[in-house]
Structure 1
Amino acid sequence: MGLIIDSNNADVFLRLNIGGTHFLIRNETVLNRKTGLLSLIVRWPHEKRIPLADAYLENTKEYYFERSASLFNVIYQFYLTGSIHLPENLCLKDVLNELDYWCIAPDKYLAECCCFGINTDQLDLIKSNPEMDQVNHFKHLRFGEYRLQIWNLIEVPSRSGRFVNHCVENSSDFHVVETEPLPIFERLEFICIVWFIFEYVLKMAVSYDRLKTFFQLLNIIDLLAILPFTIEIALSLFEFNTRNMRDLK
């Protein structure tokens, strides 16, 4: 026997308006899937939900998204059944774009009954890729598009080379016992360290998950590599003798 519940109860139902079509779904049903943008929305308070929607309809208590209702039916059915079904009357690329918008990975939940009629090219299109996953993370953040561009610019595969350079620089096998310091190299070192510090701070600023980024192994190595230089620069600004800091580096 079904329960008698007020459909306006926000603690029980999530009310959506997709392109003028009304959708009503229980919060519990969404949470059972543990994935996608809707699972995030139902966990958030009303104030945090509003920026994600295109509008909030006060009279009907609905979050309005200016998108295709027929495409959203695929999303709605996924939350009900746990599987993604591909209607024959919809363009596959449009469906994939809709899944991407709602942060649902198509390759993980595609129903078996929909796999038989798909050719190899379409399967390749369905397979997720790292770039799509990153877009999903950044898409609904403030200035997400620009943060993603900066993130991709910073996260090029160059950190391993930087770490090797740091190891070589500090290895005694590559040091000359007696040498005369050249000011130009000291300036160059200073410029490089300032750049690495700026890059590290910028990466933390634009990251979609700062805590996760901070505790990644390579980022910890980066921090340990630049920390002595950061302390030296800070102390030199206050006119402390930083000669002994060379041994620490």
Structure 2
Amino acid sequence: MDAAAERSLPEPGSQGSRAGDDIEIVVNVGGVRQVLYGDLLSQYPETRLAELIGCLAGGYDTIFSLCDDYDPGKREFYFDRDPDAFKCVIEVYYFGEVHMKKGICPICFKNEMDFWKVDLKFLDDCCKSHLSEKREELEEIARRVQLILDDLGVDSAEGRWGRCQKCVWKFLEKPESSCPARVVAVLSFLLILVSSVVMCVGTIPELQVLDADGNRVEHPTLENVETACIGWFTLEYLLRLFSSPNKLHFALSFMNIVDVLAILPFYVSLTLTHLGARMMELTNVQQAVQALRIMRIARIFKLARHSSGLQTLTYALKRSFKELGLLLMYLAVGIFVFSALGYTMEQSHPETLFKSIPQSFWWAIITMTTVGYGDIYPKTTLGKLNAAISFLCGVIAIALPIHPIINNFVRYYNKQRVLETAAKHELELMELNSGGAAEGKAGCSRSDLDSLLPEPAGEEGPSWSSRLKISHSDTFIPLLTEEKHHRTRLQSCK
């Protein structure tokens, strides 16, 4: 600021610097000029705009601690901030709440609210949900990037067993890490399919053989294939368990529990076959073995470990509990109503198939779900009319919640693809910023990784986030540090 402008700055205690409800201030946010009054801003004295009312009395230091520039002639405060976000933030002085404009990044808008010192409690609930969703996405990207960095890094301080454990874990859990790991993942997938096919084929009477007692049992060849598959599953599970960095979390994971349920019946039935006959009757042993063999169907769920589509479907169903609950409620109400009507209307027919209302539940279920086995059917005119109405109501009841469930599936699937792309994008930015990545090289070298990892506490030097700050990317960077970086309106949101 030149000398003339410095001389034109109002002196402390002058009319332009006094604090009062009749004072007006002029702010220019990103080229948008607006006049604000003291009685309006004084409602929230802790905000930045309210502090402008009395900042002239504090001199240049106080003024420029609150704004980017100041014109003493026009008495105008300049801010290099997003004007669209400012139009939303200013609503707190008029309406007591803030609504986020559509198209603004929630994280950027939060940073704008922090800059203007407006508490997040004034943000409306409908907008808070968008902010929470964006935070979850950033945390997921941060987690993915951190996992990739952990896989790239090899700590020389670790012992031989630690390095071996880490290599085995990456070999079994990260099929994309190497070609042999991908081959092992494909082999495991094929063995799951083979084991499931063997379980089904073993129940065909033509392929079964007779044992010493004349009972049909599974063919010995199929049993050998089953034993080989179980041996592979057991070895794979034990290696993953021993190499897991967190064995308790590994053991309690849902997919790992499925793995145990797929393996355990084989060993329990083997134990009962060889040792159980001494403690109980042979018939009871055979019944127990047969019941345990049914549990082998749990191995089909092992396919979810190698299929992102099944994982997406599981998540979509988990997020659609409300819609599924509505579907079951609609069907339950319809089944009760139409079964009671059907029983009442069919009582006049001498050969009625509706013996009771609970028995009519079966007819209502297969009618509303459009299955129609025909084992129970109405014979009177009113009964047929009731069946037609129940059929139409069943179609409507099933169709109504389907669309939200499909939307959840598509949204999660697309979201996973976006997060995966964003994580790869951040790694590319980290390589570029490190300056040590060779052109066309996939992944970071050890020296690059050291330059990207956060500085230990207490050491001087630029932090990880400050080195990545030039990327202007709204992803995981703010989440990996406690520092707050306010973005200007010139920075785009990716």
TM range (shorter): 0.3 to 0.5
TM-score by length of 2: 0.22
Q: Which has the higher contact order (CA 8 A, sep 6+)?
A: 2
Asked which structure has the greater CA Rg, the reply is: 2
TM-score by length of 1: 0.41
Point out the structure with the larger helix share.
2
